[in-house]
Amino acid sequence: MQSAYRQLPSVDRLLQTPHLRALADGPAHDTLADLAREALDAARQAIGRGEPPPTFDALAAAVEARALRLWRPTLAEVINATGVIIHTNLGRALLSDAAIAAASAAAASYSDLELDLASGERGSRHVHLEELLVRLTAAEAGLAVNNNASAMLLALTALAHGREVIVSRGQAVEIGGGFRIPDVLRQSGATLVEVGTTNRTYLHDYEEAITPNTAALLRVHSSNFRVVGFVHEVSMADLATLGRERGVAVVDDLGSGALLDTAAYGLVHEPMPQESVAAGAGLVCFSGDKLLGGPQAGIVVGQRVLVERLKRHPLARAVRLDKMTIAALRATLLHYLRGEATAHVPVWQMMAATADALRRRARRWARSVSAGGWPAQVVAGRSAVGGGSLPGETLPTWLLALPASERLRPSAVAARLRAGSPAVVARIEHDALLFDPRTVLPRQDPALLARLGEALDGAA
């Protein structure tokens, strides 16, 4: 056993191999030395388990592999061919070219993030977004934080810490990642008071639950599920009227944040922030990276007196936006203000894509694949909005379908597509590998077809 341990080389000797010597030149030397020690420790553990000592070349290769794995980018480029427009696992909404340019410009230089250039005095980062939010929603004031969960936590902490918040039992929901409304209320220091039943809640349920310790009435939009049938919920207008009469704030958690009417694209109507403001909600919270189509952010609009309380709360600093997100969000909001969102915001470009355009692209893809000797079909299918938005709602699309055969195993080809660069993520249904052009940017078509050709060649 001792002789096996003695066969292991020193760290210095490992680092003298040609590949590692090239990697270890300069400041990276200490990191390479640490990786070499880790590889040697792993080898000693293997010997302790009775395994033979690795060869010198195998150890050097292990160190090189550890280094390359450590230094390669972990946010890999992915072509989304799943047909899910707002794909949470793939980073949700894509940014417009203007938003990308704005974020890049903000990153490349100093800016007036919190400086009033006219006076030379300290300014506020809120000024970069508030006017746009006010104009787009007709609210009195607005601010943005780092996501909608933070927006809700800030709102409830600032308004209801140590007091009660009333919510319909059917709206005490859980969304993706285990995010639960009751947990957020508990973290904010507020006490949850549930009223009504899972499927039916009436105005008198709220009226009877209000006490001198009630701080807010909370409505939560069921963004990622739908209850149908024997149901009833109270309108925002009625909740707002009750809140005004009883001196209680009304908070509306909309989630997705659609500034355009989704019904115009053949989908059900998604509640819009400007509708909640018009109905009298005190605060309206929604996401920046879902149907809004911008960077990750949580947006709050509503009555000035309430928004100012949020701005002044100490938690606001902990959840504030950085300069690059502010720049990208401002550029995204400007698309809406200029009436050009459907032309420039990728989420809305994808939703607005016509069936004819999608079928033409799918046919081009099929011709390319067929030219390589693989059977390919163009079939009708459905795309999903995704991202906890419009549950169960889909859009008609056309798909490239590669059916399973003796030569082609869909799961194996899908795995090869995910392993390459750029990675391609498709979906498998009815024993066929499917590619939806709705969520593939036109400029990505050549890369998609090249990667698909590589993956199919590997299946031959």
Q: Exposed, middle or buried: residue 453 (CB in 10 Å: 0-12, 13-18, 19+)?
A: middle
| DSSP 8-state code for residue 78 | E
Would 174 be classed as within a structural domain? yes
| Domain co-membership, 153 together with 10 | no
Q: Are 333 and 299 in contact (CB under 8 A)?
A: no
| Domain co-membership, 327 together with 381 | no
User: How many Cβ atoms are within 10 Å of 446's Cβ, its own excluded?
Assistant: 10
Domain C-terminal end among 280, 314, 344: 344
| Domain co-membership, 291 together with 352 | no
| Domain co-membership, 177 together with 261 | yes
Tokens standing for 305? 């007196």
Give the structural domain span for 364.
78-86+348-459
Would 92 be classed as within a structural domain? no
| Domain co-membership, 36 together with 103 | no
Map tokens 């972990």 to a residue: 74
Would 91 be classed as within a structural domain? no
| Domain co-membership, 109 together with 200 | yes
- Spatial CB neighbours of 190, under 8 Å, sequence gap ≥ 6: 156, 157, 160, 161, 162, 163, 164, 165, 215, 216
| Rounded Cα distance, 148 and 273, in Å | 13
pLDDT for the residue numbered 44 = 93
Task: Give the dihedral sign, CA 451/452/454/455.
Answer: positive
Q: The domain spanning residue 398 has which CATH number?
A: 3.90.1150.110
| Domain co-membership, 15 together with 115 | no
| Domain co-membership, 429 together with 355 | yes
- φ, ψ for residue 144 (rounded to 5)? -130, 140
pLDDT for the residue numbered 174 = 62
| Rounded Cα distance, 426 and 436, in Å | 8
**Cis-peptide, bond into residue 422, ω within 30° of zero:** yes
Would 204 be classed as within a structural domain? yes
The 3-state secondary structure of 353-419 reads CCHHHHHHHHHHHHHHHHHCCCCCEEEEEEEEEECCEEEEEEEEEEEEEEECCCCCCHHHHHHHHHH
pLDDT for the residue numbered 169 = 84
Per-residue pLDDT tens digits of the chain, which is 460 residues long: 568 888 999 999 998 888 788 776 777 888 889 999 999 999 999 998 989 999 999 999 999 889 888 888 888 999 999 999 999 999 999 999 999 999 999 999 999 999 999 999 999 999 999 999 999 999 999 999 999 989 999 999 999 999 999 999 877 666 655 567 777 777 888 888 998 887 888 999 999 999 999 999 999 887 555 666 667 888 999 999 999 999 999 999 998 889 999 999 989 899 999 999 999 999 999 999 999 999 999 999 999 999 999 999 999 999 999 999 999 999 999 999 999 999 999 999 999 999 999 999 999 999 999 998 999 999 999 999 987 677 778 999 999 999 999 889 999 999 999 998 999 999 999 999 999 999 999 999 999 999 999 999 876 6
Domain C-terminal end among 310, 344, 378: 344
pLDDT for the residue numbered 21 = 82
The closest alpha carbon to 140, from 268, 319, 282, belongs to: 282
Would 82 be classed as within a structural domain? yes
pLDDT for the residue numbered 224 = 55
Give the CA dihedral 126, 128, 130, 131, nearest 10 degrees.
150
| Domain co-membership, 148 together with 172 | yes
Give the CA dihedral 393, 395, 397, 400, nearest 10 degrees.
-30
| Domain co-membership, 329 together with 419 | no
Tokens standing for 124? 């506020």
Number of domains in the chain: 3
pLDDT for the residue numbered 413 = 95
| Domain co-membership, 316 together with 367 | no
- Spatial CB neighbours of 373, under 8 Å, sequence gap ≥ 6: none
Would 142 be classed as within a structural domain? yes
Global confidence as pTM: 0.90
| Domain co-membership, 304 together with 358 | no
Give the CA dihedral 259, 356, 267, 99, nearest 10 degrees.
-20
List own/partner pairs for 50-53 with CB under 8 A and 24 or more apart. 52/4, 53/4, 53/5, 53/7, 53/8
Q: Which residues pair with 80 in a beta bridge?
A: 425
Domain C-terminal end among 344, 365, 391: 344
